[in-house]
Amino acid sequence: MKQMSSKEIKDRYGDFVETARREPVIHTSHGRPTLVTLSIEAARQIPELRVKLEAAEHGRSRNSLLNYLGKGRRWSRFKSDEEIAAFLRSERDAWP
């Protein structure tokens, strides 16, 4: 595993990213290890992370949108997913 200081990472970010895609990189601060950066492929090999990554990749945008629209809140004007979908279609059709 390669080690890089926070300053090296800041100054040579492109090199850091390329290295992290090939192998884990240990971040150091004042000579002490503080963090590890893994490629997404390496993170998917860790069972606990794979589940969280899959949830983030598949559910995040829909949940963020539903939270933005207020679904599930008492004061929400939307009563169902169908109402939300209809609202989004009408908004999309109104875009130039």
pTM above 0.95, yes or no: no
Report yes or no: 25 and 19 within 8 Å, Cβ to Cβ.
yes
Query: Residue 81 pLDDT more than 50?
Result: yes
Residue 39 to residue 22: CA distance in whole angstroms: 7
**Structural domains in the chain, sorted by start:** 2-42 (3.40.1620), 46-94 (no CATH)
Which is nearest to 1 in space by CA: 29, 30, 39, 45? 39
Highest mean pLDDT (candidates 12-16, 55-59, 77-81, 86-90): 12-16
pLDDT digits (tens, 9 = 90+) for 50-77: 777 777 766 555 455 555 555 555 445 6
Residue 5 to residue 80: CA distance in whole angstroms: 50
